Amino acid sequence: MTSLRMPEIMRYITVILLITCLLFSCNNVTERMPHFAVHGIDVSHYQARIDWDTIAVQSIDFAFVKATEGEEMQDSLFAFNWSDIKRVGLKRGAYHFFRPRTSVLKQAQNFMASVELEEGDLPPVLDVEVADGASEKLIVKSVRMWLEIIENHYRIRPIIYTNLNFYEKYIHKNFPHHPIWIARYNTQKPYLGKNRDWQFWQYGNRGELRGIDGFVDFNVFRGSLLELDAMCLSSNPFYSATDQ
């Protein structure tokens, strides 16, 4: 019998792993996390038109909605989602998808022109997960500028959404006081290091709910409903713009 050489073995292993992923883990529906009290989703126009009345009776407590991206893009379903989430009584939050190599001021203005926060709404969210070829120095500087503009405008400290790799490289040393919404598609809770906890965890992107055609991201909040309420606008001075 002819023995396989190392490159052939590695190619064989890679093919097996890819097939396994396609047949099993990559196609698994995201199951709800049973050991958390507060559950939520995040959506954009990719979920099409959502039946929020149906969502509200499935033990969903909050929803983050894409509002804007870059300097000019506004999500086509933001206004509908934003008003309907409030109508059905869920906590709501709006997020901006950040582009590090475009004007920070124009990106902030795009978000502020699109999103009117009311008492009881969750803090604004900066979704920062792509470098777009920008240097680390530029990314940190631009993120800080956007956060400061938004905090001064809404008088509440924004949340940073990112994944673990991006967090380790750009966020954890530079933004120690901002609430963190971390993406990690796993059944094991994310670990952010000593003396740092996440507030929200996006643990899967293949969730299924009645009222949404297709998949949706599943999230949990690490605290109670009372603690979630305390994060919201005009509820807790710890997250206000004047807190240092």
Question: Average pLDDT by consecutive 10-residue portion of the chain (244 residues)?
Answer: 53 52 60 95 97 98 98 98 98 98 98 97 98 96 98 97 96 95 95 92 96 97 96 67 42
Catalytic residues, which ones? 42, 129
- 54: tokens are 């149906």
Residue 23 has a pLDDT of: 41
Predicted TM-score of the model (pTM): 0.85
38 neighbors 225 (Cβ within 8 angstroms): yes
- For each of the domains in the chain, give its residue range(s) and CATH number, in order of start: 35-239 (3.20.20.80)
Residue 241 has a pLDDT of: 42
| Cβ-based neighbours of 52, under 8 Å, separated by 6 or more | 81, 84, 85, 87, 88, 90, 211
